[in-house]
Amino acid sequence: MIKEFKAPAPERLPEAFECSWKSPSNIALVKYWGKKEEQIPANPSISFTLDHCATTTLLRCTRKEGRGVAFDLLFEGQPKPSFKPKIEKFLERILPYMPFLEDYHLEIDTSNSFPHSSGIASSASGMSALALCLMSLEKALNAGMSDEYFSKKASFLARLGSGSACRSVEGPVVSWGAHANIDGSSDLYGTVFKESIHEFFLGYQDTILLVDKGEKQVSSTVGHGLMHGHAYAPARFDQAHHNLAALLDVMKRGDRDAFTAIVESEALTLHAMMMSSNPYFILMKPNTLEIINRVWAYREKNDSGLCFTLDAGANVHLLYPEVEKEAVTRFIEAELVDFCQQGQYICDRVGKGAEQLS
């Protein structure tokens, strides 16, 4: 139990409460891959918070009698039984930090800005939006809470739902995991960067090429588990510390090409870890490789900051400076859409973090 995050006894328990938050997704630049008990990351990571790809959650609470968590889960207004076990596990896990949850029946109504079957994971934005709603409830019971504590505990709770979710509460750049060079960094919640990031990177675009819109071949829980006993894990965890330190320096200086080199190496290392684990997986598709090769060819010909990163799947995130938006869009339309399922891609950019809607 982390005492700092245990809610004090409520000053009041209103009969009903309602709130809504919209929380964005994020894209990791240095990847979180491997975790210990209680959602503690095996290495520190850092991400761009996105802007358009987001989950909106409406939470309605009504007083109830009796113990235990009780909730209904709606996805786009309709009951969604398949999402329930994950949310139930999450609510039970955070109950010691929010004992008042037992005093309410919760109705959680959630929807995503991106299509459900796009192969884009909604756990980061979804868990972050829910954690923020629950913090609004906690604030309604204990009015004197500081904004800083509100965000910190929201990130702490979101992590208990899905690790990467703790990087979605705020923006534009958030690290997670204790790191020697980052004051106040913690394995328990995200740390925000703004002033120390060169303006150039704050305008970065993220175009997500939907190469494979199917279900994930390997769930993140299974994927993280593959790092236990992995022959290369200790070296990988050291490398992540090193890459994070280097990337922060690069982002401070505004060094475009050094950024590209670290980000692409991180993406390929993530996939190399999966390819060399036991059992092993190849999560890239032939079209993923086609796109990567075309990006490299484009950079050969143009003085460009266009680079790619990958999550634990086949989709490709293209990251590039705002000034290149028109040129890169032309390139995508001319050379890359054919490698996307049904020619689909999603245009996003670096964003500011979650916002309260009501």
Interface residue list for ligand DP6 (CB under 6 A): 28, 31-33, 39, 45, 121, 123, 162-164, 220-221, 224, 270, 311-312
- Distance of closest approach, residue 219 Cβ to ligand DP6, in angstroms: 8
Strand pairing category for 45-63 and 173-176: antiparallel
Q: Pick the closer one to ligand DP6 by CB: 56 or 164.
A: 164
CA distance 250 to 161: 31
**Which DSSP helix (H) or strand (E) runs through 316?**
strand 316-320
Q: Pick the closer one to ligand DP6 by CB: 123 or 205.
A: 123
Q: Pick the closer one to ligand DP6 by CB: 61 or 283.
A: 283
- Distance of closest approach, residue 45 Cβ to ligand DP6, in angstroms: 4
* Cβ-Cβ contacts under 8 Å for 203 (sequence gap 6 or more): 321, 322, 323, 349, 350
- Distance of closest approach, residue 146 Cβ to ligand DP6, in angstroms: 27
- Distance of closest approach, residue 32 Cβ to ligand DP6, in angstroms: 3
Nearest residue relative to ligand DP6 (C-beta): 163
Q: Pick the closer one to ligand DP6 by CB: 164 or 260.
A: 164
Q: Which two tokens stand for residue 139?
A: 């604030």
- Distance of closest approach, residue 335 Cβ to ligand DP6, in angstroms: 26
Backbone angles phi and psi of 85, in degrees to 5 = -55, -40
The sign of the torsion formed by the CA atoms of 259, 265, 269, 271 equals positive
- Distance of closest approach, residue 256 Cβ to ligand DP6, in angstroms: 22
Sheet with 307-310: list strands edge to edge: 307-310, 316-320, 205-209, 345-349
- Distance of closest approach, residue 159 Cβ to ligand DP6, in angstroms: 8
Which 3 state secondary structure label does DSSP give 44?
coil
Answer yes or no: are the C-beta atoms of 30 and 244 closer than 8 Å.
yes
Backbone angles phi and psi of 150, in degrees to 5 = -55, -50
- According to DSSP, residue 102 is labeled G
CA distance 179 to 45: 9
Q: Pick the closer one to ligand DP6 by CB: 141 or 291.
A: 291
* Cβ-Cβ contacts under 8 Å for 197 (sequence gap 6 or more): 172, 173, 251, 252
Q: Pick the closer one to ligand DP6 by CB: 19 or 87.
A: 87
Q: Pick the closer one to ligand DP6 by CB: 59 or 310.
A: 310
